Amino acid sequence: MTAMITASFDFWGKWRQQVLSAAGLITLFVMVMILIRPDTMPYLTAEPFSGSSWFKDGINLAIGGFVDWAKPTLRAISHVVEEAVRGLQFGLHHLPWLSFLAIVTWLGWRLSGPGLALLVAASIFYMAASGLWIKSMNTLAMVGVAIPLALSFGFAMGVFAAKSKLAGRVIEPSLDLMQTIPTFAYLVPLIVLFGFGPVPGVIASMIYAAPPITRNVMLGLQQVPSELKDVAAISGSSRWQTFAMIELPSAKKQILVGVNQSILASLSMVIIAAVIGGFDDIGREVLVATNKGSARFGEALSAGIIIVLMAVVIDRLSRAASDISRMKKSLSSRRQALIITGIAIIIGFLFPMQGFIDAAASVFRVTEAVINDGLAQFIKSYGIFLDLIKNNALIYVLLPMRIGLEQAVLPFTWGVTFTNEAQIIYLIGIIGTSCLMLFRGQKAMGLFLLAVGLIMFRGFTALPWWAVTGCVCLAAWNTSGLRLAAMCFAMMLFITLFGHWADALYSLYLCSAAVFICMVIGCPLGILAAKSDRASNILRPINDTLQSIPLYIFLIPAVALFQISEFSALVAIVLYAIVPMIRYTEHGLRSVPTQLVEATTAQGCTPLQRLFYIELPVARPSILLGLNQTVLFALAMLIIAVLVGARGLAEQVNIGLRSGDTGLGITAGLSMAFIAIMADRILRSWASNLGRSQ
């Protein structure tokens, strides 16, 4: 009986591999033929459902009906949230900057000591001296209301999901959507529901910042040892007593990690909410200054530094608060710190030092003017070189990827014509080289070369929808099975039903270009960091900085140097998305077993042979996880890059936001979320399969 079962499993496994191989070959052959001669089968290359708008119209009708039905409740919620923001704003405006500095510095000293206190004091002094104190407090007022809402909502969802399996099955995919739907898409329906102003930003921040605390609450409660629960049950504790006195204290450390992550996410989202206007905060200052390009680079930089400092201070304070042991200080030292803080608060009210702040602000304005003049002089001197970089990248890389070599190679762009003979030679070279690699057993490289070559020939925006869907579903089936393939097919079908296929292809093109650049630059840097401790020490603070600063800040240098263009959007995406590629590559190479390295060295392998034939193959699962994160980071940054020249789905979300078209914003946002989820699941499954095989 056992032998029969084993034989049946072997038969199924062999049959599955044969089906996958046959389907892969058929799909590959048909795709190659259609990409080479699309005019022979126009009905297969046309975009399906191109005029479909009933999804968007249905969403708009549903939202409109809901607003009419729930208008009193929505107005009450909006009034409560806005009054909370305005009340906190009033208090922060009337609290002298020196008193605020004293209070927060004392808190930093109390939590972690003089190091954190000095960082906090310097950061707050910068906010005051920059002349942007009121705008900084406006941002802080929104954060001060958004964070408690996000933590309360996320904590409740986490407890509910941990205690109920049914709730967990519903909440977990909801968290995936909350984290992958572009942040601007949250604002579209919220503007319709609550109007313009700070309320949509606060509620959107709650939605965006809830998943980290929810996931950590779920994880922390699930990791509570069952023995502790059994002891509590034997002792006669009620379910509430067990939860409050046993489970929560045991999960406290994990929950505090989620609190820290939710606070940072909330700050990031509140700043993004400045796009809708209605609140004069730091986010709006950065946005307005950035849109002026190099003319106001100094102002954008000053405001951007405030955002970074605010994020760093909140991050460090929340981390320090999670380590309770640091708070154990002597009673006398606490009294001294409290007395000094009280004196500083009194001095702040009695002597507001407004003249000093005005003088410092004037120095900042002069400094900003000097920075603007210096950048203008730099662009004047090296503008030709910067334009050369941008134009060459657009003409020789981005344009062929978008519309294909067949249309991009023209006399006024490349200086030559891509004749029919040249096209035939190009295709023969690509297909022949790929077949040679497949014949030699280099399956992955052969298919990769064929895909890149054909995409460069036809362009991303000319890819037929059914072929892309078939390849994605085949990849999902090959890495994870039929369930993931069916999910990918449903998501691709919804993208076409939404009428966003062309926009999805453009977003895929720009993200692919950014991810490719991240791989070309990030992998070598990760290898260098793994091989050199000095390089690792240099790259680590750079990576920390790139990951901790809000997304807006990446737009500032890109726009200042290259103005508003598609290339500026690409630069901003690369700056944000390159960090995971560097870090995961370094981690994967440093995790290679030392016994394996010593064995290859003993056999006489050179360092390059050891790297390419041993270390990189062993580190592939980790590198693939880094690629997965790079793709997700690129998609997250794409929605911000729309402000400086990106188009596609991000542009549709922004149009929906500006025009109040809820259906357009939600369908475009869901399409981006579907792309992110499919990429995440396929790459993660691929990495997991490689890890198991090793």
**What's the pLDDT tens digit per position in 24-37?**
555 555 555 555 55
Classify 236 as helix, strand or coil.
Answer: coil
pLDDT category of residue 12 using cuts at 50, 70 and 90: very low
Q: What is the pTM of this model?
A: 0.78
Share of the chain above pLDDT 70, in %: 84
Indicate the pLDDT class of residue 418, thresholds 50, 70 and 90.
confident
pLDDT tens digits, one per residue of 422-448: 888 888 888 888 888 877 777 767 777
d(CA 13, CA 571): 45
Per residue, the 3-state secondary structure of 508-548, as one string, reads HHHHHHHHHHHHHHHHHHHHHHHHCHHHHHHHHHHHHHHHH
Least confident window among 163-172, 257-266, 270-279, 524-533: 270-279
Predicted confidence (pLDDT) per residue in 454-507, tens digit:
888 888 888 877 778 888 888 888 888 888 999 999 999 889 888 888 889 999
CA dist 245 → 158, 241, 323, 462 (Å): 17, 6, 19, 61
Mean pLDDT of 631-635: 86
Residues 623 and 585: beta-carbon distance below 8 Å? yes
Q: How far apart are CA 199 and CA 262, in angstroms?
A: 18
Whole-number pLDDT of residue 4: 45
Q: Is the model's pLDDT at 123 over the cut of 60?
A: yes
Domains and CATH numbers, the chain: 71-352 (1.10.3720.10), 405-458 (no CATH), 465-694 (1.10.3720.10)
In 3-state terms, what secondary structure has residue 280? coil
Q: Which amino acid is at 273?
A: A
65 vs 2, which has greater pLDDT? 65
- The amino acid sitting at 114 is P
Q: Is the dihedral of CA 84, 87, 90, 91 positive or negative?
A: negative
User: Do the Cβ atoms of 467 and 498 come closer than 8 Å?
Assistant: no
In a 13 Å sphere around the CA of 554, the CA atoms on its Cβ side amount to: 29
**Angle, in degrees to the nearest 10, between helices 566-590 and 354-393:** 90
